[in-house]
Homo-oligomer: A and B are copies of this chain.
């Protein structure tokens, strides 16, 4: 079924002690759309500047990402620069230039309004809700968010959460949103904010889904080497929503396998800088890793 992905389309400059990687294709929308593309053709909504490299347009098109809703505005593409410390565990933001994102309000092309599956990847919650306003009978809306919006736009975030089916956030964000540092006891508090489905991501430790059916404790794919975790969370939620859109049936029937697909595509994301590894993988390779992951968790 049809899949809409709203998120940021950015240029990321990621430095490590060994290497500089300037102006990689990044942003929550890019990572999520490419991850989703292995399962369904996503319609990407976002904005880029006139400096956005043609090669990234081609790359997204090769991944059958529909770019009709990707607006090009006069000015510079959103740019994020950061660096990792020696042990690759800590990331530090060096600079953030909003560019054309400033003053942008998303407008859905008419053909996109009937999308059934909608992923609101990380973005200001007011803009995420503006997408919902333009939808015509969506079936399942997933929202990702981040700590920043809890600090600067909590009212918008609470308003958004009353209108989404699923919230995806990480463990530190769950703590910040509920004041509860136990993931399990935080779940009812997160449901009270609106979403019937909540996933708390725990990075290399996997994730936990809470729904009316109870908890699902999901593993991450164990990796011997992590090159760059930037975008792993977006890849996770993108692949998961893509798989749900592809199967199209009742959410409860496919959500657990969808989460495992999310873990697998996120693992590819971590194995290269930016989207370099994700864009090299194939559905066959993804399925192989899925089978390996299921084998590693089956009792």
Contact = CB atoms under 8 A, between A and B. Distances in A.
Given A185-B224, A219-B217, A205 B205 contact: yes
B87 A181 contact: yes
Given A205-B205, A205-B206, A185 B296 contact: no
Given A214-B296, A216-B296, A295-B214, A208 B222 contact: yes
B185 A217 contact: no
Contacts of A256: 298-299
Given A205-B205, A205-B206, A225 B182 contact: yes
A260 B298 CA distance: 11
A184 interface: yes
How many copies altogether? Answer: 2
Nearest to A223: B184
The 4 A-B residue pairs with the shortest CB-CB distance, nearest first, are: A205-B205, A185-B224, A184-B224, A217-B219
B208 A205 contact: no
Interface in A191-236: 202, 205-206, 208, 214-219, 222-226
